[in-house]
């Protein structure tokens, strides 16, 4: 990450992905083959668009996937599966972007330096 704003964007998109996934998962458990309505699909596509920008090519879960096609309406289970993959990759990116200080507290790495922006510990094995 290059700036504190990058951290804020990542944390925002993680929250949006989690919220959308939670809501769609409830619907998918009731009727997995039901279609997602146009309003929800528009919001989900906005979250996916933002996630693609934040995650970049290194963490984007699917090559060639930019959003759901509103003309080929996906099922709730399809959307839940895709959002799950986005959540995994967002967490992998976060995990790769944090490091502990000498006191065991976790902070984001901004640029090449440990920042003062706190984080939780990584949940994925990072590359750093």
Segment (H or E) for 98: strand 98-100
Q: Which residues pair with 106 in a beta bridge?
A: 100, 119
Collect all residues with Cβ–Cβ distance below 8 Å to 44 and sequence separation of at least 6: 20, 24, 36, 68, 79, 83
If you search the block for the tokens 């009727």, which residue do you land on? 31
| φ, ψ for residue 124, nearest 5 deg | -115, 150
3-state secondary structure of 37: coil
Task: Please tell me the pTM assigned to this model.
Answer: 0.93
The whole-number pLDDT of residue 68 equals: 98
- pLDDT tens across 99-108, in order? 999 999 999 9
- pLDDT tens across 75-119, in order? 999 999 999 999 999 999 999 999 999 999 999 999 999 999 999
pLDDT of 128 > 60? The answer is no
Exposure b/e, 33-60, CB count within 10 A at least 16 = b:
eeebeeebbeebeebbeebbebbeeebb
Q: Which residues pair with 54 in a beta bridge?
A: none
| φ, ψ for residue 60, nearest 5 deg | -65, 125
């Amino acid at each position: 990450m290059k700036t504190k704003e990058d951290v804020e964007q990542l944390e925002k998109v993680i929250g949006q992905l989690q919220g959308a996934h939670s809501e769609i998962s409830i619907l998918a458990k009731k009727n997995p083959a039901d279609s997602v309505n146009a309003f929800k699909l528009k919001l989900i596509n906005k979250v996916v668009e933002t996630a693609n920008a934040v995650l970049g090519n290194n963490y984007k879960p699917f090559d060639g996937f930019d959003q759901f096609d509103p003309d080929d309406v996906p099922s709730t289970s399809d959307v839940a599966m895709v959002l799950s993959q986005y959540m995994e990759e967002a967490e992998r990116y976060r995990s790769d972007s944090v490091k502990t200080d000498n006191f065991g507290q976790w902070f984001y790495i901004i640029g090449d330096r440990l920042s003062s922006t706190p984080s939780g510990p990584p949940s994925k094995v990072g590359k750093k």
